[in-house]
Structure 1
Amino acid sequence: MSEAIPADRPRVWSTPAGVRLCAETDLADPGARGFVLQIGDKWFHGFVVRKDGAVAGWVDRCPHAGLPLAMELDRYLTADGALILCGWHGAAFEPISGACVAGPCAGGRLTPWPVEVRDGAIRTA
């Protein structure tokens, strides 16, 4: 189970471009994987989703309550892989657009994290 981010752990909300996250083949379709990057003395928490061949990156923070979406490591998607699901309050998001389609933040969006597939790897963009 994920824990709340300690208050004394400074956060950053963006990353530099070109950071290799994983091989493209390491991410199932549909699939999702979380990443924590240290940027100087601060930390970035994000996740990458792959669905129908498309890849999207999101800041790991629900727009409803500000908590990380997954309650368990890398469990961002519904069982059928159709939607991103916030394990805390049930908000559901479209994997590639980040639009909230159900739950307490319906009509809202996830915060994008620019990523790209280049040279067989998923990288920050």
Structure 2
Amino acid sequence: MSEAGPAPPPPDRPRVWKTPPNVPLCVESDIADPGARSFVLQIGEAFFHGFVVRKDGQVAGYIDRCPHAGYPLAVELDRYLTPDGSMILCSWHGAAFEPLTGKCIAGPCAGGRLTPWPVQVAGGVIRTA
């Protein structure tokens, strides 16, 4: 490991940045409140990487890519939130984001935003929108 931290994972497969609507992801109660969960969807030959945050009875989805360096936010599966669940934290460089807006409030991309991934809850199931 270098002084800058672990190297990002290699781009070993093609990525897409959108998903079709109405794809069921999980039951809403599968994600703690506050909590987050990663999703990887295969779209044709490519893959979409996103995550869903649940906080205060609301859900928000984001593309799993930090606006600062383009890396996935979590180094460890589903570890997107700070220990107290109040913020999304980029494991690579410490950027902190508001969970329901995606706005970066601290770190190297302060003032930026996570890219939204449209999701919705219908009948207790979280789906792509």
Give the structure-2-normalised TM-score: 0.93
Question: Which of residues 117, 121, 129 is equivalent to 1:113?
Answer: 117
Unmatched segments (≥5 aa) in structure 2: 1-5
Gaps of 5+ in 1: none
Q: How far 1:47 sits from its partner (Å)?
A: 0.1
Q: Distance in 1 between matches of 2:55 and 2:16?
A: 27
The alignment's C-alpha RMSD in Å is 1.3
Cα distance 1:108–1:87, how it changes in 2: closer, same or farther (>3 A)?
A: same
Task: Name the % identity.
Answer: 73
Match of 1:103 in 2: 107
CA distance in 1 between partners of 2:11 and 2:32 (Å): 33
Residues 53/100 of structure 1: CA separation in 2 closer, same or farther (3 Å cut): same
Any idea what the Cα deviations from partners look like across 1:50-79, whole Å, max 9, x if unmatched? 010110000000000000000100000000
Write the distance in 2 (CA, Å) between the matches of 1:25 and 1:8.
33
Q: CA deviation at 1:8?
A: 3.8
Q: Does 1:49 align with 2:53?
A: yes
Question: What is the number of residues matched between the two proteins?
Answer: 124
Mapped to 2, the partners of 1:7 and 1:108 lie a distance apart of 24
Q: After the TM superposition, which residues 1-125 of structure 1 pair with which residues of structure 2 at under 5 Å, given as runs? A: 4-125=8-129
The aligned residue for residue 3 of structure 2 is: none
Report the CA distance shift for 1:25/1:3 in structure 2 as closer, same or farther (over 3 A). Answer: farther
Q: Which has the larger radius of gyration?
A: 2
1:24-49 CA-to-partner distances (Å, cap 9, x unmatched) read 11011000000000000000000000
TM-score by length of 1: 0.95
Question: 1:114 is aligned with what amino acid?
Answer: P
* Equivalent position amino acid for 2:57 in 1: G
